[in-house]
Structure 1
């Protein structure tokens, strides 16, 4: 090989390394610094994180663009050697569905009666076309120019442990950051850590717990396994002490779906039992803390209170740890371990999930159609869908769907305009009995249905689902991807009752980008 050829190859390698390092910095900024970014307590926390994300995407785009112009010969070579068929072939369903989602948002904005508001989202929560476009730019920058690093998830957990610890101390009314000093007492429990609203906080922590639990399950080196276990325990405490019902949806998704991945061998079943035993132990510990500290803590006023108030909880905890201890002792005495993989238990658990879903649907029917509300005791408040359900979410959803039914056929397809939900419902819900203003649906999918229409929400759901399917397919070759898949699932499930905000949502998008990046790398190796 000639010296000129060697120099050329090294230059291209250096350029590639420079680009991937820029992406590394961008990933760290969003996963680690972004959750902690605060400027003026909770007064402008949404604006602070929104501008942080804008600045991060614009800066990384600018740096990469400048580096491309500096290497103009490389651009010329790319243009002249461009192969359209190969380019299109590498586009995944996830890529295509995202492009359709963004194109729908563009058309929706252009056709909206409120173009300015649709573009900036200033009448909502800043989730207009501009922010959606930034999500799209970041997605293609990361998935095309990045290189997946195993330590991404480690730094994500490490940084967000700080968020969790601040949330835990807020539960104890310590207010270490002094963010609540000027707030009235009745509002203090609604805001926590460096995130703000407890619903958004638990959306983020739900993803943290999912990543920690999966990494704990798949890790073989005991020191690293211990680290992930500690992260998981802190995450459980933070999630439950967040005092938001959104948390139980994330946990239901995690505990319900994780066995489909873990139950392929005995080690996976044992790890799952440890996770469950740890979760109930954390709840029992919080119950003891509440009894001892009384007024010094906020207390549990959510779905978790049903578990906390169960008198036999301590025996469940003791029983689980006793089974796990016996299992470890038996394995130690046996010495020789033959842990063959078998999907039988996965199929059994899948059947259990199907039965649970059928029972749940029947219970909903029994409560809301047959009127058997009192039959379900403390759960009736979660099962009966009326205007008061979910802190008036029932009222918002009912009015939202009534507004949607009045849309023209075109509006039903492309929506009223990104993040114009508040404008849509303004006249219909003004002077409502709750005295509230609704600028979001508190349901990401209904929100998208009204703002970007049937095409928009369908393409968004396909975007999420196609990534999950891709991640599951390659998890055998890289189990770490399942941690990202579970985080995205946990976010997507709680999104049925939560807001789409540029606080927790950018974290989900970034994790999805990294998961898709890893999927692409695995496929390229196979080619």
Structure 2
């Protein structure tokens, strides 16, 4: 008997062992993934004033206590483990990457100029060794649970809708929790929103939520897909409410992912049009409310989101056309998309995407190195790299790379220490930075550069191994499983946005959770293959794009 597609995929994923179903370990891992993804974005303390520290404390306590409970359960049920427990090379790439990342971070902390601050992260954004090891503990808990990835995506869909809805309400000065009280200065009001806090972090969270819900709408079926319509509309409204350029990354990659996953079959394409129509209706709805209450919302001046609500009629017409096309595709049984056609459409989408990126890069090079005298205004300023590019990110990136180049070999290898960029950067280039923006920076505002400086080349390599391992494992399952596809789109979008944002305890753990849960086993060894295929709805007789649920 030929092995199923699901069995062939799982054969490519080496695991050290698999827990038996009667054991509590997979249940605990799945529950941990669900509740972290559900509660972590929603928790807050002392309004906007303690969000970062509070989320950091709750997350670290949860991870360490969870690891203790997990190990105790493992010790009590150790006889239920099957497989080659002591074969080290059975570890996945994500496992090795996380292990190496933790070890390098510990070495970097020990060799830093301030080990205590490197451990706690008090000098920076609370992303010290304590936080890194908490994410390692989380990886241990969730990476061996077959359904941890599925539960993590479900938690993100719920918490994301609630966080986005609160952000939209805050945008219209509706404040059910009293965030915008007298303690918050008038100048700070536009910079903070929802239970995430800073609008840039809110945009980072939307980079996880919006691609996740749109791709899940495409890959899921029935009532699950239908329920995504209001969730997508709320997410689109939150893109406007964010007022941060990074939120446009979430929007662009959500539509791109939606189309890429949608061209697999007639029904998935219908659901892709359905999802995009929901987003356009969200923009049109925001435009109508803004026009009706011109003084009742936070300003969109000088933000790219202004263009999303500028033409409500056009958005509405496009949304209606997409809904009509979705309905026609859903009802038509004559139109079939063959594998060859689907492959051609995917390549066409990739070609158009690459052409668009190439055109943007050409504009960037032209205005930065060739036509340096032309005056640029509005969003066109993004095509000229200067010290002030990206809210002063340009100057910080250049000086961070200079700092790395002139650092000793030890720093080049293992970094300055976790979250210890502030003092070395200020000592080397503080006067230059103050001269052009009158600010000080404790982060590179680019996660790759930040990890390169704080963890060195070895730490960055280990991090990239973890990311590559987690993404590869999710990729192997996403054709059969809507949850895997949603997780892949969310993680990929966040990783792109990470090039212009800060690593912090608010959204970074959510990315690590998706990648760690994606490295989970995906099936249970003690169940017969036929029963397992029936449970996961991943039988070879069913087209992959029509599966409703799978273990991730």
Which TM-score applies when normalising by structure 2? 0.84
Alignment correspondent of 2:401: 401
Report the alpha carbon displacement of residue 24 of structure 1 after superposing the two structures with TM: 3.4
Alignment correspondent of 1:206: 207
Alignment correspondent of 1:49: 55
**Structure 1 residues 146 and 130, CA gap change in structure 2 (3 angstroms):** farther
The answer to whether the 8 A contact 1:201-1:242 is kept is yes
CA distance in 1, matches of 2:318, 2:373: 33
CA distance in 1, matches of 2:470, 2:149: 18
Matches of residues 124-523 of structure 1 in structure 2 within 5 Å?
A: 124-145=124-145, 147-148=147-148, 150-181=150-181, 182-221=183-222, 223-301=223-301, 302-309=303-310, 314-315=313-314, 317-319=316-318, 321-322=320-321, 324-325=323-324, 328-329=327-328, 332=331, 334=332, 338-341=336-339, 342-371=342-371, 374=374, 378-431=378-431, 432-433=434-435, 434-517=437-520
Q: Which moved more, 1:117-126 or 1:251-260?
A: 251-260
**Structure 1 residues 146 and 323, CA gap change in structure 2 (3 angstroms):** closer
**Structure 1 residues 352 and 337, CA gap change in structure 2 (3 angstroms):** closer
Report the alpha carbon displacement of residue 314 of structure 1 after superposing the two structures with TM: 2.8
Report the alpha carbon displacement of residue 386 of structure 1 after superposing the two structures with TM: 0.8
CA distance in 1, matches of 2:262, 2:274: 12
**Structure 1 residues 216 and 62, CA gap change in structure 2 (3 angstroms):** same
**Structure 1 residues 22 and 403, CA gap change in structure 2 (3 angstroms):** same
The answer to whether the 8 A contact 2:31-2:151 is kept is no
The answer to whether the 8 A contact 1:29-1:56 is kept is no
Report the alpha carbon displacement of residue 518 of structure 1 after superposing the two structures with TM: 5.3
Tell me, which stretches of 5 or more residues in structure 1 are unaligned? 1-11
CA distance in 1, matches of 2:326, 2:214: 20
Report the alpha carbon displacement of residue 320 of structure 1 after superposing the two structures with TM: 5.1
Report the alpha carbon displacement of residue 511 of structure 1 after superposing the two structures with TM: 1.8
CA distance in 1, matches of 2:119, 2:152: 32
CA distance in 1, matches of 2:231, 2:126: 32
Report the alpha carbon displacement of residue 151 of structure 1 after superposing the two structures with TM: 4.9
Report the alpha carbon displacement of residue 373 of structure 1 after superposing the two structures with TM: 6.8
Report the alpha carbon displacement of residue 374 of structure 1 after superposing the two structures with TM: 4.3
CA distance in 2, matches of 1:241, 1:130: 33
Query: Is the partner of 1:294 in helix, strand or coil?
Result: coil
Matches of residues 65-144 of structure 1 in structure 2 within 5 Å?
A: 65-70=71-76, 74=78, 84=86, 87-144=87-144
Query: Is the partner of 2:47 in helix, strand or coil?
Result: coil
CA distance in 2, matches of 1:255, 1:466: 25
Query: Is the partner of 2:298 in helix, strand or coil?
Result: coil
Deviations 1:386-411 (A, max 9, x none): 11111111121122112111111231
The answer to whether the 8 A contact 1:331-1:337 is kept is no
Report the alpha carbon displacement of residue 216 of structure 1 after superposing the two structures with TM: 0.7
Of the candidates 26, 30, 34, which is equivalent to residue 24 of structure 1? 30
**Structure 1 residues 185 and 376, CA gap change in structure 2 (3 angstroms):** closer
Report the alpha carbon displacement of residue 498 of structure 1 after superposing the two structures with TM: 0.9
**Structure 1 residues 330 and 380, CA gap change in structure 2 (3 angstroms):** closer
Report the alpha carbon displacement of residue 335 of structure 1 after superposing the two structures with TM: 5.0
**Structure 1 residues 446 and 150, CA gap change in structure 2 (3 angstroms):** closer
**Structure 1 residues 329 and 273, CA gap change in structure 2 (3 angstroms):** closer
Indicate the structure with greater helix content: 1
Report the alpha carbon displacement of residue 46 of structure 1 after superposing the two structures with TM: 1.0
CA distance in 2, matches of 1:264, 1:394: 40
CA distance in 2, matches of 1:195, 1:498: 14
Report the alpha carbon displacement of residue 183 of structure 1 after superposing the two structures with TM: 0.9
The answer to whether the 8 A contact 2:218-2:269 is kept is no
CA distance in 1, matches of 2:166, 2:325: 37
Q: CA RMSD of the aligned region, Å? A: 2.8
CA distance in 1, matches of 2:148, 2:106: 30
**Structure 1 residues 372 and 319, CA gap change in structure 2 (3 angstroms):** farther
Report the alpha carbon displacement of residue 380 of structure 1 after superposing the two structures with TM: 1.9
1:63 aligns with 2:69: yes
CA distance in 2, matches of 1:78, 1:500: 36
**Structure 1 residues 26 and 384, CA gap change in structure 2 (3 angstroms):** same
Report the alpha carbon displacement of residue 51 of structure 1 after superposing the two structures with TM: 0.7
Report the alpha carbon displacement of residue 128 of structure 1 after superposing the two structures with TM: 1.1
Report the alpha carbon displacement of residue 281 of structure 1 after superposing the two structures with TM: 3.1
Q: State the number of aligned residues.
A: 504
